A and B are shown apart, each in its own frame.
Chain A
Amino acid sequence: MENDNSVRIALGQILVEGGEPDRNLERAEKAIEDGANAGAQIVLLPECLDLGWTHPSALNEAESIPGPRTERLIDKARQCGVYLCAGLTEKFENRVFNSAILSAPDGSLLHVYRKINVLDVAQQYYSIGRNLSVIETPLGNIGVNICADNYADSLELGHTLGRMGAQIILSPSSWTVDYSTTNDNQDYLEKWVKPYHTLAQLYDMVIVSVTSVGVIVGGPFEGKKMVGCSVVVGSEGVVFRDKYNEFSGSLGVVDIEVPAEHSMGTDIGKMLKEKGYVNSYL
């Protein structure tokens, strides 16, 4: 660690097999363990890592949070003494949410976030979340959102986390590309890096996004796959990019400088104006 403001984050870019929660959780536990062994203080894992994003099993195999899967992951994170942020499919009453948990090294569940910007075709599985939060931790103020929450046309969600004081955004993701995409064609990355960089510059934040690897084997996105390339983006641009892979996970370990707390309240408007931000609708 370079100084007190530095945090080591492990990006658990794991293989996620649709509809196979036990196999997926086994890989998630290993990533937590490997991350801790690499000295990470935070381990970030992908979106819907239990059942796979938009896998039809979401409708009948989702579990409550907290629940057995949450406990299994948090227990491992507690044993390893790390913060954990992981995407899980949440059953709540008669609805299912695409959720993310944030737990502390002592095993306490600090936050459950439910994805807001759910894709139209994914709404047959997931209901819309209604809350955003930023959690104060000794490592900094952590905001959580999920994958498409950071689309260029829904950047208000990231803006809101910035306005709530987030210094780090952890974003479990499941970026999908067409089956025909290969290693030599990664234009899709720009779709993610651009909005991350916009937010990071405006609010002087670090955005960490971990996606999974694997073929989508059920649901409306059959014919697509996840190919990794998880990223860490700061105000200066991409700090780290993990490997391209279609079938095998990896663990990226990155030391990030946690930016100082930025302006709050109406001062943010001034800060944004100084940085040239224009709300084009007004």
Chain B
Amino acid sequence: MCVRCIIDDTVPGANFDKDGVCAYCHLHDEMDNLYPLTVEGACREAILIEKIKRAGKGSKYDCVIGISGGRDSTYLLLLAVQKGLRPLAVHFNDGFGNPIAGENMTKATEKLGVELLTVTSDWRESKDLKIACLKASIPNANMSTDIGLAAALFGSAAKHNIKYILIGQSFRTEGIAPLPWNYLDGKHLKAIHNQFGTSKLRPWTANDPGFNLGSKELFYYIVRRRIRTIPLLYYHDYVRSDVDEIIVNELGWTNPGAHYFDDLYQALLQHLQRIKFNMDRRKFNYSALIRTGQMHREDALSDVDSIYALEDPKIINLCIKRLGLTREDFDVILAASPKTFRDYPSGYDRLVKLRLVIKVLVSLNLVPQSTYLKYYKYAC
């Protein structure tokens, strides 16, 4: 186990150095340098905000913000409005939203006077994709939601001719997931669906991409339409307890019960990953909190010894039932041999070959540098 955080050798790519510090701590430090919490960092953020405002001049919105009703996206929305941005809030609804998070979104957008656009997937597609990922035995069994969300954000930005998408990720509180645990790409999802799905997905259109977000579509949005994705929280000293207080007081936010629990399907995912893949995302979540002094290492170690609250049996059963599966069907899925993303076609090999191209896109600010670090420098 890392001497600084709680990343251990069950986490792919831990690569401890001679002092016993894991690669994720080094990646964190490198990102901390890229997004410093200093006057210089604040200036860079201010310049970025002005750029976003300039790009949206004369339009109704200057950015798209993906919201889920969880802590991170709710705070991001508040922050953006406080900074004078005019966001279009976009929620991707694939039928598993936590009702508590739903009420949070409604309250937050109403109080902030922000327009909310809900992009709802076709449930027949959502269900078919989720079952396909379960049958494929891959760890990131919620990949379709992540792809659908990203596609919804790009599609909404394209439809309204918005050049910036703000996302509520924070490496300082959420950490960085190992690539094999959460690998996703549009080609990979399509390959799995082709093999295990039962129905056809609707085709891509720029404004309504559905679950299609392969390299061609990404090229269209990022290079042709020049839509940029900004992790705005990277510029902030994001302290969870402080943020909770702010959004509770200002927006009447209610904690959905656990990190990631804005999505009910996360209960099933957490269970599946623990039982079948010996994975626990708390390891990188808590490690981030330890690195930023928001959690004691001893408390984190003690917490990961017990089953996470997210893994609520009632909600797991809800997810199974909602997919039209029986408990027996799900037990068969749990018992099947675990696979990795490398067992199915994906865009990973091409991505590896495109290292230089991505580096150029990073230098043009079209792709965040953090993506480069994660996918290349610290890839495992």
Contacts and interface: CB of A to CB of B under 8 A. Distances in A.
B198 to A, nearest CB: 13
A20 B318 contact: yes
- Interface secondary structure of A, over-half rule: loop
Contacts of B124: 222-223
A247 B99 contact: yes
Interface in B96-122: 97, 99, 102-103, 105-106, 116-122
B199 to A, nearest CB: 11
Contacts of B105: 247-248
A216 B99 CA distance: 15
Contacts of B324: 56, 218
A179 interface: yes
A225 interface: yes
A223 B102 contact: no
Contacts of A222: 123-124, 127
B33 to A, nearest CB: 39
A183 interface: yes
B321 interface: yes
Residue among B91, B118, B119, B127 facing the most chain A CB atoms (10 A cut-off): B118
Contacts of A247: 91, 93, 97, 99, 102, 105, 118
A201 interface: no
Nearest to A248: B102
A180 B123 CA distance: 11
B180 interface: no
Contacts of A56: 324
B145 to A, nearest CB: 13
B95 interface: yes
A24 to B, nearest CB: 10
Interface residues of B, number: 24
A180 B205 CA distance: 13
A215 B117 contact: no
Given A217-B322, A218-B322, A179 B99 contact: no
Contacts of B122: 179-180, 223
Interface string B221-259: 000000000000000000000000000000000000000
B95 A217 contact: yes
Contacts of B97: 247
A171 to B, nearest CB: 24
Contacts of A23: 99, 318
B322 A180 contact: no
B284 to A, nearest CB: 29
B362 to A, nearest CB: 34
A81 interface: no
B208 interface: yes
Given A182-B117, A247-B97, A216 B102 contact: no
A246 B123 contact: no
B350 to A, nearest CB: 32
B131 to A, nearest CB: 13
A129 to B, nearest CB: 28
B123 A19 contact: no
A89 B105 CA distance: 30
Contact of B118 (A17, A20, A182, A218): A182
Given A247-B118, A248-B106, A18 B322 contact: yes
Given A15-B102, A217-B95, A222-B127, A246 B120 contact: yes
B99 A15 contact: yes
Contacts of B91: 247
A245 interface: yes
Given A19-B322, A182-B117, A248 B123 contact: no
Interface in B110-166: 116-124, 127
Nearest to A250: B106
Nearest to A216: B123
A179 B123 contact: yes
Interface string A198-218: 000000000000000001111
A180 B124 CA distance: 13
A245 B106 contact: yes
Contacts of A18: 322
Nearest to A224: B123
A249 B119 CA distance: 17
A248 B102 CA distance: 5
Interface string A27-59: 100000000000000000000000000001000
B210 to A, nearest CB: 10
Residue among A17, A247, A248 facing the most chain B CB atoms (10 A cut-off): A247
A247 B105 CA distance: 9
Contacts of A249: 103
Contacts of B102: 15, 245, 247-248
Contact of A225 (B120, B318, B321): B120
A214 to B, nearest CB: 8
13 contacts: A19-B321, A19-B322, A179-B122, A180-B120, A182-B117, A215-B120, A216-B123, A218-B322, A222-B124, A223-B123, A247-B99, A248-B105, A249-B103
Interface of A: 15, 17-20, 23, 27, 56, 179-180, 182-183, 215-218, 222-223, 225, 245-250
Interface of B: 91, 93, 95, 97, 99, 102-103, 105-106, 116-124, 127, 208, 318, 321-322, 324
Q: Which 9 A-B pairs have the closest CB atoms?
A: A247-B102, A248-B102, A215-B95, A248-B106, A246-B118, A179-B120, A179-B122, A248-B103, A222-B123
Given A222-B127, A223-B122, 10 more contacts: A15-B99, A19-B322, A27-B99, A179-B120, A179-B122, A182-B119, A217-B127, A222-B123, A247-B97, A247-B99
